Structure 1
């Protein structure tokens, strides 16, 4: 994986092969960040990266100047990799090992952007739990955005607070406001 833009543009990050991850492709990530760039100043926002995996999305935000980034994953290897990579690049990323659903129920911090990339084999009910908890607990700031990455086989258009989706290759980003 590589960082698309910003301070660390073109830097490659190689994750250990044993991590249970499916990183967002560079093409999909670049398209996603083009959308985000039209709505936010990266240095003014706070980001919550759920099911963070390798930290791919968190690194992109950090490279573009975001100073408040929290990455959450339940896999110790993923959190250790994110922590070490953030330390090596001097990126402001807080890595937290936790079950995402338990974290969302406990946290009271609000974010401008919450990005979730759960396993593609989640059921639609499991996917729908993410926006349900986020909006029930008011975890987004005013004009905040929840983005969920999923496969084309998953349709989240009937979930509360759904706004729109964008398809990129085999990935779909659904936006909730």
Structure 2
């Protein structure tokens, strides 16, 4: 069972497609968001959840104070789950804008003019590292000056190749999962 951990939609159970997604565990999301919130990185932010699956990461941010959330996943079942989960969160958290895009992540990034303060990149483990690198390169110009990017992968995956403009500052392991964090490089 996947659920929202805390905030206005806390304890809400999320719809999960029967196959094709690997939702971030409650334990990992709780630890990740505890760290992000302690640094003031969630309230009043614009968030992108790329390879969203159920939308759990972006919707957790919405529940905890983000004002705008974008969920992107090309799989039809995942996009449907994201839409249903977004509606459920919006019933509990008034005023948050949540948009779902059923398209490939790179296509979304190339076509959007939005900017983001916090971005979660949690692709299926079989997504090639070259695609992650291209996503990071395409994303970087769409980040606000103090933005944070979180990349979640298997602990067997190499560290992402960070493009110019992003500086890694944290790596945390949670069982089989590792989360790397990077911040927009100063000047």
TM-score by length of 1: 0.90
Mapped contact 2:58–2:69 kept (Cα < 8 A): yes
1:171 is matched with which residue: 155, 169, 177? 177
Give, in angstroms, the shift of residue 157 of structure 1.
5.6
* 1:106 is aligned to 2:106: no
CA deviations on 1:8-37 (whole Å, 9 max, x unpaired) are 22222242314x100001111111101211
3-state SS of the aligned residue for 1:42?
coil
Q: Which residue of 2 aligns with 1:159?
A: 162
CA RMSD of aligned residues (A): 1.7
CA deviations on 1:87-125 (whole Å, 9 max, x unpaired) are 233253111111101111221211001111111112222
Aligned residues: 174
Unaligned runs of 5+ in 1: none
TM-score by length of 2: 0.85
3-state SS of the aligned residue for 1:44?
coil
Unaligned runs of 5+ in 2: none
Q: Give the 5 Å matches for 1:1-177.
A: 1-18=2-19, 20-40=20-40, 42-90=42-90, 92-135=97-140, 138-156=141-159, 158-160=161-163, 161-163=166-168, 164-177=170-183
Distance 2:84 2:160 in 1: 37
Distance 1:59 1:166 in 2: 21
Distance 2:151 2:109 in 1: 14
